[in-house]
Structures are given as C-alpha cells and as structure tokens.
Amino acid sequence: MLVPQFKSGTIMDIVHTPSQKTTHSSSRLKVEVVGNGQKMMQEQKGQESEATIPGSSRPKIDVQQMNFFYGSNQALFKVNLTIPENRVTAFIGPSGCGKSTLLRCVNRLNDLVLGSRVEGKILIDGQDIYRPEVDITDLRTRVGMVFQKVNPFPKSIYQNVAYGPMLQKISSRSALDEIVEKSLQGAGLWEEVKDRLHASALGISGGQQQRLCIARALAVNPDILLMDEPCSALDPISTGKIEELLHSLKEQLTIVIVTHNMQQAARVSDYTGFFLLGELIEYDDTKKIFTNPGDRRTEDYVTGRFG
Amino acid sequence: MQAVSLKKFFDSGTLFVWMCGAGLALSLLMIGGLLALIFINGMGYFWPKDLVQFTLHDGSYVLGEVTGHEVIHDSVNADSPEGKGRIQLKVGNRDLYGLDFRWIDESHIQAQSTPTDVVFLERREWGNFYGRPHRVMQGDSVVASGHQEATTALFPLIDRANEIHEDIHYLERSVIGDINHEIEAQRLSLRALELEGRANQSEVATREQEVAVLQSRYEAEADKLRVLYTQLEEYSVVLEDVNGTTKELAVGQIIRMLQPNAMGVGEKVWAYLGNVWTVLSEEPREANTEGGIFPAIFGTVLMVLIMSIAVVPFGVLAAVYLKEYATQGALVRIVRIAVNNLAGVPSIVFGVFGLGFFVYAVGGSIDALFFPEALPNPTFGTGGMLWASLTLALMTVPVVIVATEEGLSAVPREYREGSLALGATKLESLLRVVIPCAMPGILTGLILAISRATGEVAPLMLTGVVKLAPSMPLDGTFPFLHLDRKFMHLGFHIYDVGFQSPNVEAAKPMVYVTTLILVGVVIILNLAAISIRNRMRRKYAGSTI
Ligand SMILES: Nc1ncnc2c1ncn2[C@@H]1O[C@H](COP(=O)(O)OP(=O)(O)OP(=O)(O)O)[C@@H](O)[C@H]1O
Ligand SMILES: [Mg+2]
C-alpha cells in the first residue's frame, strides 16, 4: 500500500521507491538542522557528504521565522529555511500553499500588495533585506525573477534585454550590445534570435519568450534567480531547454524554482522544500525528498496520492 | 403547444437579438439620413446650375436658378387645374430687385427656356448678377457693344481685375500690415519706456524718427494702392437684366463670369472643382454668405490641435495619479465620480468659467504683468485662441481621464511586476512600460475629446470666436503663432451664417457647405488619431487593450 504509484515512467529513473519508515526520524532531524538557519549552517561548513548542504556551497538566502499576512489572512507560518549558493532549490506543494508568496518575499515584490505584512527576517548574504535602509531597486537587481505568465514587454527583443541595464544608466551602445549578446547566450537564445534582435518580442514562440525573460533577468547580472513555475505554459521541448539552462546557470547563480511538476523538481533541483498550507513541512536533498521523505504528507504529495 | 413554442422563442433570445438589431438599424438610419442630407445639399452647392428664363403671362421675364418647388394648398388656386405648385428661383440682382429669391406660381408661367447667352456674374458686392452684358466702357468711350462682343471683351478684363485685386491684397495685408505692425511696436516700446520712467530725450527722438521713416514708407505704399484702386475703376460694364433694366458696374467689382447654359459637362465639372477649392481656400465675403471659409477651417483645426496638446498631458497626469498613486479609498471614489459628472456639465458653463478664469483672471494678470504698455487695449485679457482651446481642454479632460484610467487598468500586472523585478522604480515602470502600453487607451480618449471639441460652439462664443477675424492666428509676423488673437470657427460660422445673416435664404447653401466641411474636419482629425492608435496597437499587439 505504501508503494507509490507513479503515473509517469520517467521519474522512476531518478526516484526510487521510498523504503523503510525507520529513516524518518533521522531525516526529520536534518530538516531541523537545515531549518535552524545560518548558525547551524556555518557549523556544518567544510563538512562533506553528511551535511545537507555540501561544503563547497555557502548559504545564500536565509529565511528566519517568516510569517506573512495578506491583510488578516496569514499565508506563511514560521518558515525557516536556508538556500545554498550555486544550487537549484525547488519549492513544491499544492496550490495556495504559499510558494509564490515566499518567492516574492525574497525580492520584496509583495511590498506592492496593499495591506500585506511581513514578520521575521530574510537574509541574503547575511544582510536582512527587510531593513528600512535597504534600497529595493538595488535588491531587485541582485534578485532576478522569471514569472509563470510569460511577460516580455511589447518592445523589441533587444530592448527587452537592454531594459534592465538601461535602468542602470548604461547607455553606451557597445556596452549594451555586449550585455544583450551575453545575456541571450546565457539564456540559450542567441542563435535563434541574433538576426532579428530588433523584431518585436511578442513575435517569437512562447518558449523563446520565456528564455527571453530569463535573458532579461540575467542582463542585470543578479546573484539569485527566482523562477515561479517558469515552464507551466510551455511544451516539453521548451521545458527541456529551460531545464538544461538551469544546469548551466547554477554555476554563477543561486536558483529557486517553484514547480508543480514533480518530475521537473526531481530532475533539476538539488534541494526541495515541500509546503503545505503556508508551512514548510520538509526541506531536504531532492533525492531524499523523492525517495525517502521524512514526513508522511510529503510522501503522499510526491507520490501523487495527495488531494 | 403554441405557448411552449412562444416561450421557447422568448428563451432562445431571438427576440432580443432582433430588438438589438432594430435599435442599431434605427441609429444608423438616423445618422445616415443626416449625413446624406448634409452631403447632398452641401455638394450640390458647388454645381453651376443652368439659368432658366421664364416668360410669364403678363409678358415679363424672370431669369434665375431653380432652387425649390412647392405644392400650394391655397384655396384661391385650388380650382385652376395647372397652377398647383410654385417654383423658387434665385434671381440674384439684389441691387435691382431687393431680394435674391422669388417664388413664381406655375400658373403664371407661359414658357420656359435656357438661353445660352445669359451670364452669371459673381460680384464683390450685392451678390450674383444674372443677365447679359450690354456694353463694355473705358471711361466714357465704348470698347465693345452687343451681348456677344461685350461678353467676349469682358473675360480678359475680369482676369486683369483679379490680378489687381491680388496685388492690392498683398499690399494691404503684407506690406502695409507689416509697416503698421512696426509702427505699433515702436509706439508700444515708447510707452513701455515711459511706464518704466526711462524715457529720456534721445530715446524718444530715435523712436519718433523711426516712426517718421515708417510713416513715409507707408505713404509711398498707400500711393501705389490708390493707383491700383483707380485701375480697378478704369473699365466698366453696362449690364442688362432679362427685362432690359440696365446697371453699370466697374469691372473690378466682378470676380467671375460664367455662361452656365453654354457649358458642357466637362466645363461644369471643372467649374465645380474650382468652386470647391474656392470655398476651402478663400476668405469669406459679404457677411460670410459668399466666398470661402478657409479661416474658419484653419481656426477649428488649430484650436483642436492646441486643445489636444493641452488636454493629453493634463488628463494623463491626472489619471496616472488617480489610478497609480492615490490610495484607493472613499476620497478617490468621490473624485472619480466628480470627474465623470464634469463631463455632463453644460458646455456654456465651461464657457462662463473660461471667460471668468482664463480671460479675466489669468489673461488680465498676464496683461498687467507683461503687456502694460498696450493697456487699456487687452492682449491676453480678451478672448482668444489660447483661452478657447484651454476652455475646451478643460471641458474634455474628463473624457481623457476616464479613458486613460481604463487604459492603465488594462495593462497586465505581469508587465508592471516584470519591470519592477528588473530594478525599475515605479516611475520608471510607468514611463517605460505602463504608459506606452496604455497609449491606445489614451488615444481613444483623445479621439472622443476631439469629436466633442470640434463641434462645440457655446463656450467658444465667450472665449474668443468671432464672426470675422481680421487676421489669422498663424502668420508670417513674429512670433508666427498668435495665441492671443481671435479666430473663426466652423461651428460658430454655421450659427452666424445660418441665423445671424441678413439674408438667410441666400446663406442656406453656405450653411450646408460649412456643416459638410465641419463633419469632414471631424472625420479627418479622428482618422488621423485612429491611425496613430492602430499603429500603437500593432506595436503593443500582445497587450489586451
Ligand atoms: N495578492 C493577494 N492578496 C490576498 N491573498 C493572496 C494574494 N496572493 C495570494 N494570496 C493568498 O495567499 C495564499 C498563498 O498564495 P500563493 O500564491 O503563495 O500560493 P502558491 O503556492 O503560489 O499557489 P499556486 O501553486 O497556485 O501558485 C493563498 O491562500 C492565496 O489565496
Ligand atoms: Mg504561485
């Protein structure tokens, strides 16, 4: 009965059948280790294999005791987690559980929502981004975002990519040309659009548009890239291209991706956090989450038995 | 059974669709009928009609253009079998008959013909003349006599007279106008010096000297002008109406001579196009009932353009504040309702406001501050192009605000967030993404504003429109655009020509023509704005607006 029924075959390659319940307690411990944030992380620094976060990577984003309210409606409950640098971290969970909310807290896009309120801290490189003296536009250039709804501006491809740099008052033509080329190459789009840089961005395919949005985010040279269901509107081939891209991008970036696609989370991420009703239920190595989750609810969700 | 099918019929919505269709058809019919009426009457005005000569039972003749026909329900004539109707004729010759139009009972007509030798003369005064030239005179000596010879001799003389008129126009408007302008400028600068208490002897002397120079130049030009005027009087023509009454007229009084009955269709088409051009390009004559309406067209278009320049930034800024910056609460809702209601305020109220605020308060202050030397003659403290445009801008700003707000709402949230997520500030997002995407909506507002403003008359009557403007608001004298000047306007022209002119019947065709042109101007302005909007829409094809 406990053996999960995978509907799709592909995931079977990566994910093995979760086995004994005995491991649950130990994995739970690890979640706490991860969840307790920076201090614990620092202690673990340098330690290999045993640590949830391999030694080569420092903590990049550290969420501490995060509560989030839309007016009187609380969307996040005491969330603690640490996201390592140069890794892909996936957020999974049923609809409405607060994944997007947490993601949008990291670049403070939720500030726009009237009546919203934040409690707790989010540290990026050890600095709390909710301090009053933080320059939000500066923060947002360091934390790029790619949205679920593909949203290139109704401008040319070139203007889309140059949009961010131009905001930073880079106006020299050659500098912009270089940034545009590099960003498009980074997003794996250069070869496809280099002959029509000045054509409308709305005239390319959906998958290309989403990669254009990635290129646009890369153009301001962020250290973190937040992706909120970036592939939900794309076909498998475009999805595959973007997944490949994540592998190459994580060498320079810290990536956080929200996805409803379990296979995708399993394929692309190094760490996975499972959310339910605004709480972080479990956060661990992706492999562990999918093969041997510590929580019954996680298991139910990743095996597709969850409502 | 039948009840069921009837219910089915109601439920199916067919009835509703039919009602909608009927409503639309009715509106289209009314609009179409109105436009057709204006179009037919307006376009008909330009056609050179045949001159019909009627012989009446009493032996007299009547010559003129047939302009109408009417059935009389008159008991006196009811028993006479043939005399059931009457004909309206434009007989012209106002100086001889007193009236341009005449009704003739059909029962009085004995015969009717279209003699080819009758001419139609367009004159600078007294309206048209219908009849025959009898002889052409140079002073007291006869140059040509007999209908045919006189007519032939007259054509080149009229051309020559028109050239002289052009020279006179140039001298009066440009040369002498400039000299007067300079003299006035000298007088004003002297007055300004006096007001500032810096008018010393030498300053006054230099200015007086310059005025003297200008004065002598003026005299020289005035002499030339007098020569030209006497040249106009050199030739004269003795005209004869159908009944043999003669009238002597200086050739300089004649603008144009046609023999419509002798013209072929090609010639008539040519004359038709010439008439259209005349109306579009020339200035009005004879209390606006003759000549062209160019100043009115120009005034209307310029006023609408200035209004657009004023209303768009104003309305867009207000809408951006209301939509993007103001905290959405009770106060903003009240403001929004107030703005919407502003669109329903009678336009004359805006006119009164414009007069009180723009003309007297703002204009008066500008005069006191910047043009004290011209007082008591007002410069900006009287109605003018600027104040009329601003008044209309005020009147149409609600439309632009509402349309812009709708345009802003239609910009997808993803665009705003996408821009902010790249490190743009709110202002940068607005300027670079949101407002450009809302541009089609803004232009829709502008189109509505233009339509409303072009046809508006009442507020203009208080803020700067006149029936005959001495000079155009845009000309060759510095600073070229004279926003303080009064101007002419097509809508007011319709009112003035149609209802204020001494000769309403004669002015009627002009009313149709002016209306037609006003409708044309509205359509052209709208088409221009629509084509810009469509270009923008294509550019922002992804947006939902
Ligand atoms: N702008 C908002 N105003 C009020 N409540 C909101 C707002 N955005 C989200 N919420 C609420 O917050 C909760 C979390 O929403 P969130 O968008 O973070 O969920 P999610 O996990 O991203 O879901 P999905 O997978 O469907 O995108 C939901 O209950 C939602 O109704
Ligand atoms: Mg979401």
CB of A113 within 6 A of ligand 1: the answer is: yes
Are residues B371 and B267 both part of a single domain? Answer: no
B264 lies in the same domain as B246: no
A105 CA → ligand 2 middle, Å? 12
Residues forming beta bridges with residue B247, ordered by sequence position = B239
Most informative mutation of A77, A92, A97 for ligand 1 (most atoms within 8 A of CB): A97
Q: How far apart are CA A266 and CA A198, in angstroms?
A: 37
CB nearest to B422's CB, from A138, A140, A200: A140
A137–chain B nearest CA distance, Å: 4
Residue B131 lies in a domain: no
Q: Whose CA is nearest to atom 5 of ligand 1?
A: A70
Among the candidates B472, B487, B502, a domain finishes at: B487
Pairing mode of beta strands B141-145, B128-138: antiparallel
Q: Tell me which residues have their CB within 5 A of the ion that is ligand 2.
A: A 100
What single string gives the DSSP state of each residue in B294-348?
HHHHHHHHHHHHHHHHHHHHHHHHHHHIIIIIS--SHHHHHHHHHHHHHTTS-HH
Per-chain mean pLDDT for chain A: 80
Whether B103 and B200 map to the same domain: the answer is no
One-letter amino acid of A40: M
Residue pairs between chains A and B whose CB atoms are closer than 8 Å: 66
Decide whether any atom of ligand 1 lies within 6 Å of the A215 Cβ. Answer: no
State whether the beta carbon of A304 lies less than 6 angstroms from ligand 1. Answer: no
- Reported confidence tier of residue A48, pLDDT bands at 50, 70, 90: very low
Instruction: Let me know: does B51 contact B260? Beta carbons within 8 Å.
Output: yes
Nearest to B423 among A114, A167, A202 (CB): A167
Query: What pLDDT shows up at residue B246?
Result: 86
B93 and B186 share a domain?
no
Q: Read off the tokens for B310.
A: 């004023």
Rounded distance between C-alpha atoms, residue A144 and residue A226, angstroms = 6
Give the number of whichever ligand sits closest to the CA of residue A275: 1
Give me the sheet containing B101-105, strands edge to edge: B101-105, B85-90, B61-71, B52-56, B109-113
Give A149's contacts in chain B (Cβ within 8 Å): 412, 414
> Residues B50, B82: one domain?
yes
Instruction: With respect to residue B505, please indicate whether it lies within any of the assigned structural domains.
Output: no
DSSP line for B374-429? GTTS-SSSS--HHHHHHHHHHHHHHHHHHHHHHHHHTS-HHHHHHHHHTT--HHHH
Q: Report yes or no: B518 and B304 within 8 Å, Cβ to Cβ.
A: no
Residue A80 Cβ contacting ligand 1 at under 6 Å: no
* B235 assigned to some structural domain: yes
Give the position of tokens 């603690």: A80
Q: Is residue B13 part of a domain?
A: no
The answer to the question of residue B57 being in a domain is yes
Task: Determine if residue B13 is left, alpha or beta; phi over 0 gives left, psi from -120 to 50 gives alpha, anything else beta.
Answer: left
Residues B321 and B190 in one domain: no
Q: Do B174 and B75 lie in a common domain?
A: no
Q: How far is B398 from chain A (nearest CA, A)?
A: 27
Say if the Cβ atoms of A154 and B417 lie within 8 Å. no
Amino acid at B322: L
CATH of the domain at B328: 1.10.3720.10
A293 CB-near residues (< 8 Å, 6+ apart): A18, A27, A274, A282, A284, A299, A302
Backbone phi, then psi, for B5, in 5-degree steps?
-70, -30
The average pLDDT across A168-189 equals 89
Sign of CA dihedral A277, A93, A52, A15: positive
**Nearest CA to A258 among A40, A32, A105, A67?**
A105
The pLDDT assigned to A17 comes to 36
Nearest to B415 among A140, A153, A168 (CB): A153
The alpha-carbon gap from A294 to the nearest alpha carbon of chain B, in Å, equals 35
B420, B424, B543 member nearest A154 (Cβ)? B543
For residue A18, CA distances in Å to A75, A297, A302, B316 come to 30, 13, 11, 61
d(CA B82, CA B99): 27
Joined together, the tokens standing for residue A98 give: 């607060």
Residues A200, B422: C-beta atoms closer than 8 Å: no
Q: What is the pLDDT of residues A218-255, one digit of tens each?
A: 999 899 999 999 888 888 888 888 898 888 888 889 99
The pair of structure tokens assigned to B493 is 């022209």
Is the distance from the beta carbon of residue A277 to the nearest atom of ligand 1 less than 6 Å?
no
Task: Classify residue B7: in a domain, yes or no.
Answer: no
pLDDT of residue B384: 86
> Same domain, yes or no, for B101 and B183?
no
User: Which pLDDT belongs to residue A52?
Assistant: 42
> Which ligand sits nearest to residue A97's alpha carbon?
1
| Strand B254-258, strand B119-123: pairing | antiparallel
| Three-class DSSP category at B54 | strand
Cβ contact A109–B542 (<8 Å) = no
Helical ranges in chain A per DSSP H:
11-14, 23-35, 38-44, 99-106, 136-142, 157-167, 173-186, 190-193, 206-218, 236-249, 262-268, 286-291, 296-302
Element at A274 (helix H, strand E): strand A271-276
Place of tokens 């040519």: B270
Rg (CA), chain B: 31
Chain A residue with minimum CA distance to B431: A167
Residue A39 has pLDDT above 50, yes or no: no
Q: Which range marks the domain in which residue B142 is found?
A: 137-252
pLDDT of the residue at B74: 58
**pLDDT higher than threshold 60 for residue A46:** no
CB–CB of B454/B304 below 8 Å?
yes
How far apart are the C-alpha atoms of B119 and B258, rounded to whole Å?
6
d(CA A283, CA A298): 10
The reported pLDDT for the residue numbered B351 is: 92
Take atom 24 of ligand 1 and give the residue whose Cα is closest: A95
My answer on whether B316 and B410 are in the same domain is: yes
List the beta bridge partners of residue B122. B128, B256
Helix %, strand %, coil % of chain A (to 5):
40, 20, 35
Q: What size, in residues, is chain A? A: 307
Sign (positive or negative) of CA dihedral A244, A245, A246, A252: positive
Q: Is ipTM > 0.85 here?
A: no
10-residue block means of pLDDT along chain B (545 residues)? 74 86 95 91 85 88 86 60 74 84 85 86 86 86 84 87 87 82 82 76 81 86 88 86 85 86 88 88 78 89 92 93 89 91 88 91 83 75 87 92 92 91 91 90 90 89 84 73 84 88 79 90 88 82 44
Say which DSSP state A194 is in. G
A96 lines ligand 1 (CB under 6 A): yes
**B222: number of Cβ within 10 Å:** 14
The domain that contains B70 carries what CATH number?
Answer: 2.30.30
Q: Over the stretch A87-144, which tens digit does the pLDDT of each residue have?
A: 999 999 999 999 999 999 999 998 888 889 999 999 998 889 999 888 998 999 999 9
Distance between the two ends of chain A, CA-based, in angstroms?
A: 17
- One domain, residues B179 and B101: no
Q: Between chains, do A154 and B428 touch, taking CB under 8 Å as contact?
A: no
Is residue B486 helix, strand or coil? coil
Contact state of A109 with B421 under an 8 Å Cβ cutoff: yes
Q: What is the DSSP string of A166-189?
A: HHTT---HHHHHHHHHHHHHHTT-
Give how many domains chain B has, as a whole number.
Answer: 3
Name every chain B residue with its beta carbon within 8 A of the beta carbon of A213: 418
Domain membership of residue B457 (yes or no) is: yes
Do residues B145 and B95 both lie within one domain? no
Report the residue of chain A nearest B539, measured CA to CA.
Answer: A154
Q: How confident is the model at residue A2 (pLDDT cuts 50, 70, 90)?
A: very low
Contacts of residues A192-196 at CB distance under 8 Å and 24 or more positions apart, as own/partner, are A193/A157, A196/A157
Boundary of a domain, candidates B487, B506, B534: B487
- Please state, for a pLDDT cut of 70, what percent of chain A lies above it: 81
Q: Are residues B319 and B430 in the same domain?
A: yes
The chain B residue lying nearest A106, using CA atoms, is B421
Kindly list the residues of chain B whose beta carbon comes within 8 Å of any beta carbon in chain A. 328, 412, 414-415, 417-425, 428, 432-433, 436-437, 539-543
Q: What is the mean pLDDT of residues A74-97?
A: 91
Q: Pick B540's closest partner by Cβ from A145, A154, A163.
A: A154
Most B CBs within 10 Å: which of A105, A151, A170, A229, as the mutation test of the B interface?
Answer: A151
In a domain, B226, yes or no: yes
* CA A119 to chain CA mean position, Å: 21
